[in-house]
Structure 1
Amino acid sequence: MFQRIASVRLHPVHLTWIAAAYFATIGNIPLWQTLCSHVEVDSLRSLLFLMSLPVFLFCLINLLLTPFMLVPYVRKPLLAMLVLISAGCSYFMLSYNVLIDRSMVQNFFETNQAEMASYFSMPLLLSIFALGVVPATLMLLPQRPRTERFGKTVWRWAAHILVTCILLTGVTVTFYKDYASLIRNNLIVKDQMLPFNFVRNTNGYLKRKASAKIQPLRRVAEDAVRPEASTHTRPKLVILVIGETARAQNFQLNGYSRPTNPTLTLRTDIVNFHNVASCGTATAISVPCMFSRMTRAQYDEVRAATEENLLDILQRTGVHILWRNNNNGGCKKQCDRVAFEDMPKLQVPTLCVNPDGTCYDDVLLHRLSERVESIEGDALIVLHQIGSHGPTYFERYPKEAKTFSPTCNSNQIHKCSQEALINTYDNSLIYTDQMLSKTIEFLQRYSADRDVGMIYLSDHGESLGERGMYLHGTPYLIAPKEQTQVPMLMWLSPTLLSNARLNSGCLKSHAEDKAYSHDNLYHSMLGLFEVTTHVYDSRLDWFAECRA
């Protein structure tokens, strides 16, 4: 069969048609699911409009591919690469109902081997083989060379472009109102259309990264100062726990019916915030945003990467900073200029036993006392969790910590029952609850000599099958609350409350009644460490209204 195909004298124009037909049909199954579900056939016009969609898509892809198909030694490798990547994207879009937008592309480029391994499965390989390897192989097969006069080649390409433009114009003019309404009411279409969703967003990501790389680091809050420590001043020790993929709806402290916070609910000294919004729906956006002086509305990736963050300011004013990492995505460059420890590299027995190389979050407390005892003066320690990162939720807690059963012990979470999936996710939250309680107990050992406190804040939430959506990373504009509402709580020692002139009752009242977001972290930490600077905004400080 392959010999017959290889003997076909296929012109590049024909190859362009074949590629366009592929991407207009089986190469864009997720897109067709969206289009067919949003076009209601209740008249002859709507039926004709539905029938025009594949023609429109074929012509559009035809035109977009043509400039690359004109280059002899580029066309086939390029097509093969686009087909293979599209096959992988189709699998994730179909299985988890995710979109290939700029944050998803950024997640792909900035993930590590362990996180990538958590997604590998036989269905993924079969999908890439059937939708990618087979058609890509057919496109790469050598064909018998054909000679053609230059003038005839020009005429053939010109005719190809002209006919395509006429068809595309005819369809667009005839059904202009229908296409305008469909696109206006379904903004996700642009992030579902393969291969141009990942091509466009990859190009944007690489351009932003290159722009950030060539720009010098801009100093922020150069006027920042802190009061000089006296012999009567107790040093502060604050641990900031950055959670991963924890959603507020599943926190018992927020009214969830299941006991996902069995130890923290027993404490009367916890301040739990009931209404907190994330800056993004992916770690790559949320973490840089929460350490930036920009609010979510102002956030710009290049600017965040090229100016000093919260940790830089605190460190410059004399606060000792340590970032301990147990997150596959790393610190997203927020820890580049402070002390850093990558905990999975230590391979601590009993805590780093997962086959993908990840560790349980208790590793973040491993030998932390040695680091604390070597610090003089105020300190901020950031513990970056792996938390409840999916799809392998079952690997986020040890077996002895399992509370709910049955569980979903697979990365094929869309194939698990809703009960098993929720059980597994909730088990990971219970383990986070235990880890946070241990962190408080750790801090209490230093309360005789230091003002100690812990703040926990998750980076984003998670979809667990609601409306057919899984995981996270949905564009914020259309993201469900499961991905944007995050848990946040704090524990402050009595001496820290007293010396910082904070009213505990006021904090609890505000935490219950007011809405907060990642925007507040930057200014609240400046206020807690008594940093004076023009950058500080008391309106975004959690503590400001409760400070005597």
Structure 2
Amino acid sequence: MSASSLMPLVSALKMFQAAGNAGTAPRSSLSVFARLPAIGVERLGILASLFFSLACNHLFFSAALANRDWSQPASWFFAFAIFIAITALQSAGLFIVLNRWSAKPVLSVLFIVTAAATYYMNKYTVFFNTEMVRNILRTDVKEASELFSLNFCIYMFIYAALPILLVWKLRLKTMPLRRAIPVRLAYIVGAIVIAAGSTLLVFQDFSSLMRNQKEVRFLITPSNYLFSLTRVVAVDTAQANVPKIPISGDAKLGAAWGQRAKPMLFVLVVGETTRAANWGLNGYARQTTPELSKLDVVNFPHATSCGTNTEVSVPCMFSTYGRRNYDEKEIRAHESLLHIIDHVGLKTIWRDNQAGCKGVCDGLEEQRLDSSKNAALCDGERCFDEILLDNMDGEIHKAQNGNLFIVLHMLGNHGPSYFRRYPAAMRTFTPTCDTSDLSKCSQQEIVNAYDNGVLYTDHFLAKTISYLKTQTTYDTAMLYLSDHGESLGEHGIYLHGLPYSIAPKEQTEIPMVMWLSQGFASSFGLDKDCLSKRSRNPVSHDNLFHSILGMLQIESKHYDKTLDMSAGCRA
């Protein structure tokens, strides 16, 4: 934000101050606001909408008007037309909800939320679609607190506090109800007609924009988050207290289970925000996986995620739908892979160091370890991921028949506080970005901190494998995959969560690694050499559901052999 853009606001504030200091009348009569004519609620709505269009839609207009020839009058006409259309349409919405009692409180909330949304949109290129809004609503306080900074507070003061102050100082006109109703209806109809007319004047260009760049509508603020919030609330309300639709009824263990000599211990590690581009086993210039590189693991270098945020990816990867048949409502309404595993008698536990299982473990055992009191691994706010291995022996001994399927949900490399995701011993790449305000760091410092987090993920996975090797009375195995990737400044984009259709590969390409004990491979007839050879083939979150069923030889009508990574490698 340039100093020149603030000059009108500064000048206005100085004028108000000068007017308040002039004369000798009582203070109440000196207020410049008392001298201003009262303003109607409709005009206040128009002014608020103009403010939103001018101050809060930089990203939208940048995207909508990109690559236009500004020497052509048509470009200016298009820009003016969509500005008028958006302002009028948002005014119509305000006319519906504002009255002399609600105007000031409602606008205050809108100014606060819109300012916060705009700040993060401009800073990290955030699109407020339903996925992002759901992700925000599920964000815990500890995670949210890492996003606050001095720059955020300054931005909120200018774009929220000052507008709120002005609104509360204004006097609102009142009129009899019999006159207010037709006046309000006239404003609503007029705004809709203006919005429609402006759109029709540039309909060809506008329809092309909406058809070819559908995601751009999620940059129109505050309409974007209001629309998405409404959809999220509607879906969640409809599904509240409604039992999951069963998919596990027909599932049963295959014949191989009757011939096994040892119980099974399978650990599925769901990572967080680790991208394939910085994964050492994938050929990254830096060795960020030194411990895994020394172990007999199967690495999948061409793996992709279902989504670009946890709220999408975790439910999706455990569902029968996957990315190929993605349907958020159906995914959240049905049981997950874990319910099938638990149904056939394999004790299933979700151990979490982040923000929960996103519904995939509903009705199953869930252990939240992110607030543990282990002083060696926790600082009172966050725990390092090794907390997920704490007291594993106790959990194993609880399994009645010995068979156990454990999911470890990592905090991983969740940004922007990468520097807090690894212990001091892992601070290998320096200098690092040691603040959550990434704008204060160079891109190399950000990458260094991120890569140290990848090093710690490598260490955690190697330690998990080492632990499984000690469990000699079990056939053990581990599969790791990240929920999504991360942008570290490429193309000016940071963090994650862009709509999948326009997300860069840094947010969708993820690491995936498998380790099998010799006993596990033999018991389930898995050829590790075959798996290694086939690991070069493209895989995705869509393969998880079917590969786990196949590897564990669980029979189900939902199993799809074509999506089982191990299908051609079993005896």
Question: What is the match of residue 302 of structure 1?
Answer: 329
Structure 1 residue 342, shift from structure 2 partner: 1.2
Question: What is the match of residue 75 of structure 2?
Answer: 46
Question: What is the match of residue 471 of structure 1?
Answer: 495
Structure 1 residue 38, shift from structure 2 partner: 4.2
Q: Would the alpha carbon gap of residues 45 and 305 (structure 1) be closer, same or farther in structure 2, given more than 3 Å must change?
A: closer
User: 1:16·1:66 contact (CA, 8 Å) conserved in 2?
Assistant: yes
Q: Which structure 2 residues correspond to residues 18-97 of structure 1 after superposition, within 5 A?
A: 18-69=47-98, 71-97=99-125
Q: What letter corresponds to residue 195 of structure 2 in structure 1?
A: L
Structure 1 residue 438, shift from structure 2 partner: 0.5
User: 1:211·1:302 contact (CA, 8 Å) conserved in 2?
Assistant: no
SS of equivalent to 1:381: strand
Q: Would the alpha carbon gap of residues 334 and 431 (structure 1) be closer, same or farther in structure 2, given more than 3 Å must change?
A: same
Q: Would the alpha carbon gap of residues 237 and 56 (structure 1) be closer, same or farther in structure 2, given more than 3 Å must change?
A: same
TM-score by length of 2: 0.90
Question: What is the match of residue 407 of structure 1?
Answer: 432
Matched, 1:547 2:537: no
User: 1:208·1:301 contact (CA, 8 Å) conserved in 2?
Assistant: no
User: 1:27·1:83 contact (CA, 8 Å) conserved in 2?
Assistant: no
Matched, 1:143 2:171: yes
SS of equivalent to 2:252: coil
Structure 1 residue 105, shift from structure 2 partner: 0.5
Question: What is the match of residue 351 of structure 2?
Answer: 324
Matched, 1:367 2:391: yes
How far, CA to CA, are the matches of 1:308 and 1:154 in structure 2?
A: 49
Q: Would the alpha carbon gap of residues 59 and 501 (structure 1) be closer, same or farther in structure 2, given more than 3 Å must change?
A: same
Question: What is the match of residue 522 of structure 1?
Answer: 545
Q: Deviations over 1:230-286 (max 9, x none)?
A: 58521111111100001111101111111110111122x210001111111111111
Structure 1 residue 100, shift from structure 2 partner: 1.0
Q: Would the alpha carbon gap of residues 503 and 41 (structure 1) be closer, same or farther in structure 2, given more than 3 Å must change?
A: same
Question: What is the match of residue 303 of structure 2?
Answer: 276
SS of equivalent to 2:341: helix
How far, CA to CA, are the matches of 1:81 and 1:242 in structure 2?
A: 37
Q: Deviations over 1:368-414 (max 9, x none)?
A: 12222343422111111000000000000011211100101111113
Q: Would the alpha carbon gap of residues 532 and 155 (structure 1) be closer, same or farther in structure 2, given more than 3 Å must change?
A: closer
How far, CA to CA, are the matches of 2:138 and 2:326 in structure 1?
A: 19
How far, CA to CA, are the matches of 1:178 and 1:526 in structure 2?
A: 49
Q: What letter corresponds to residue 563 of structure 2 in structure 1?
A: L
SS of equivalent to 1:24: helix
How far, CA to CA, are the matches of 1:199 and 1:144 in structure 2?
A: 25
Q: Which structure 2 residues correspond to residues 404-443 of structure 1 after superposition, within 5 A?
A: 404-443=429-468
Q: What letter corresponds to residue 5 of structure 1 in structure 2?
A: F
Question: What is the match of residue 171 of structure 1?
Answer: 198
Q: What letter corresponds to residue 263 of structure 1 in structure 2?
A: E
Structure 1 residue 149, shift from structure 2 partner: 8.0
How far, CA to CA, are the matches of 1:116 and 1:38 in structure 2?
A: 36
How far, CA to CA, are the matches of 2:533 and 2:483 in structure 1?
A: 24
User: 1:118·1:411 contact (CA, 8 Å) conserved in 2?
Assistant: yes
Question: What is the match of residue 32 of structure 2?
Answer: 4
How far, CA to CA, are the matches of 1:260 and 1:6 in structure 2?
A: 65
Q: Deviations over 1:56-86 (max 9, x none)?
A: 32222222322223x4322322122111100
Question: What is the match of residue 253 of structure 2?
Answer: 226
Q: Would the alpha carbon gap of residues 166 and 522 (structure 1) be closer, same or farther in structure 2, given more than 3 Å must change?
A: closer
SS of equivalent to 1:25: helix
| Percentage of matched positions with identical amino acids | 35
Q: Deviations over 1:140-161 (max 9, x none)?
A: 335165446844x456445544
Q: Note the residue ranges of structure 2 that are not aligned, 5 or more in a row.
A: 1-15, 21-30
User: 1:98·1:470 contact (CA, 8 Å) conserved in 2?
Assistant: no
How far, CA to CA, are the matches of 1:296 and 1:352 in structure 2?
A: 35
Q: Which structure 2 residues correspond to residues 108-147 of structure 1 after superposition, within 5 A?
A: 108-141=136-169, 143=171, 145-147=173-175
Structure 1 residue 297, shift from structure 2 partner: 2.7
Structure 1 residue 432, shift from structure 2 partner: 0.4
Q: Deviations over 1:425-469 (max 9, x none)?
A: 1100000000100001100001x3211111101101111111111
Structure 1 residue 504, shift from structure 2 partner: 1.2
Matched, 1:260 2:283: no
Q: What letter corresponds to residue 297 of structure 1 in structure 2?
A: R
Q: Which structure 2 residues correspond to residues 376-415 of structure 1 after superposition, within 5 A?
A: 376-415=401-440
SS of equivalent to 1:345: coil
SS of equivalent to 2:270: strand
How far, CA to CA, are the matches of 2:425 and 2:202 in structure 1?
A: 61
Question: What is the match of residue 336 of structure 1?
Answer: 362
Question: What is the match of residue 246 of structure 1?
Answer: 274
Structure 1 residue 534, shift from structure 2 partner: 1.5
Question: What is the match of residue 484 of structure 2?
Answer: 460
Q: Would the alpha carbon gap of residues 255 and 143 (structure 1) be closer, same or farther in structure 2, given more than 3 Å must change?
A: same
User: 2:282·2:301 contact (CA, 8 Å) conserved in 1?
Assistant: yes
Partner residue of 2:238 out of 196, 211, 236? 211
Q: Would the alpha carbon gap of residues 500 and 20 (structure 1) be closer, same or farther in structure 2, given more than 3 Å must change?
A: same
Q: What letter corresponds to residue 372 of structure 2 in structure 1?
A: L
Matched, 1:106 2:131: no
How far, CA to CA, are the matches of 1:458 and 1:232 in structure 2?
A: 31
How far, CA to CA, are the matches of 1:230 and 1:179 in structure 2?
A: 64
Q: Deviations over 1:510-536 (max 9, x none)?
A: 111x11111111111112222112221
Structure 1 residue 127, shift from structure 2 partner: 1.1
Q: Would the alpha carbon gap of residues 507 and 180 (structure 1) be closer, same or farther in structure 2, given more than 3 Å must change?
A: same
Question: How big is the alpha-carbon RMSD for the aligned residues of Structure 1 and Structure 2?
Answer: 2.0
Q: What letter corresponds to residue 408 of structure 2 in structure 1?
A: L
Structure 1 residue 172, shift from structure 2 partner: 2.7
